[in-house]
Amino acid sequence: MGTFKIATYNVNSIRSRLHIIIPWLQENRPAVLCMQETKVEDEKFPVKEFGEIGYHVIFKGQKRYNGVAVASQHKPQEVSFGLDDGGPADEDRLIKGVFSGVAVLNTYVPQGYDRQSPQFEYKLQWFKRLRDFIARHYRPAEPLVWCGDLNVAPEEIDVHNPKRLLGHVCFTPEVWEAFALVKSWGFVDMFRKHHPGEPGQYTFYDYRVPKAVERGLGWRVDHILATPALADRSKSCYIDMGPRLAEKPSDHTILVAEFEI
């Protein structure tokens, strides 16, 4: 039996964050690193830098917006991109594959812009479409990890000021319900499994908020969830604040989970 370490990171432009990503991979050596908001066309993706440290990388993106990627120690199997229900595929928001024998779903859920906007309704429908996608491709009894920037803080303890932030597109009842619908298919929140009820644990600190990290003004919107078959074998799940404290960081930091497989 060995350890399967998986991490998720909204890089907010992968080419601007290589000075953080590559050393982090070299030091931590996860089996899989899921990345979101890579913001680069496929032909300009920095494949060489990952290869030089022994990582395979798959990706789908576009200039300036969205983009998902997965770096893995071993070549992935059964890779596909996007939703497949006949609606917008959004290939730059979803990667499905098998990595080191574990099924992984890496998603960058739409943010939603404003509750009165069409983008918000699209976000709610995206969660529903994702629930249907998962039900078609997987079974709760199988080992599956769903992770990424899910753009939802599901509990009051997942934001620094729940009273003031209530109604934000990532912290509002409609989004909680949409997220809960996907989770109810058969997922366990890995961070809450290992840190139940623990406040002040965040993965996102807004650039626009002065000294947000120092003041603890964050959100937990990046998640790693697993089916019970895998969650029962989890060893740990933790937030690594090092990347957020580095020079020229992303506004998110890295979330890590470890399993015995």
Residues 73-103 have pLDDT tens digits of 999 999 999 999 999 999 999 999 999 999 9
Nearest to 194 by CA among 224, 156, 151, 159: 224
Instruction: Report the C-alpha gap between 89 and 10 in whole angstroms.
Output: 20
- Banded model confidence at residue 104, pLDDT cuts 50, 70, 90: very high
Q: What is the DSSP letter of 246?
A: S
Instruction: Report the C-alpha gap between 214 and 98 in whole angstroms.
Output: 38
List the domain boundaries for the chain: 3-260
127 contacts 187 by C-beta, under 8 angstroms? no
- Banded model confidence at residue 179, pLDDT cuts 50, 70, 90: very high
Q: What superfamily would CATH give domain 3-260?
A: Endonuclease/exonuclease/phosphatase (3.60.10.10)
- Give yes or no for residue 166 having a pLDDT over 90: yes
- Give yes or no for residue 1 having a pLDDT over 90: no
| Structural tokens at position 245 | 């404290």
| Structural tokens at position 14 | 């992968």
Provide the pLDDT for residue 118. Answer: 97
Give the three-state DSSP class for 107.
strand
H-helix or E-strand spanning residue 254: strand 254-260
If 0-12 CB within 10 Å is exposed, 13-18 middle and 19+ buried, where does residue 241 land? middle
Strand order in the sheet with 102-108: 77-81, 94-99, 102-108, 144-149, 222-226, 188-189
16 contacts 247 by C-beta, under 8 angstroms? no
Provide the pLDDT for residue 204. Answer: 98
Greatest distance between any 2 Cα atoms in the chain: 50
Provide the pLDDT for residue 10. Answer: 98
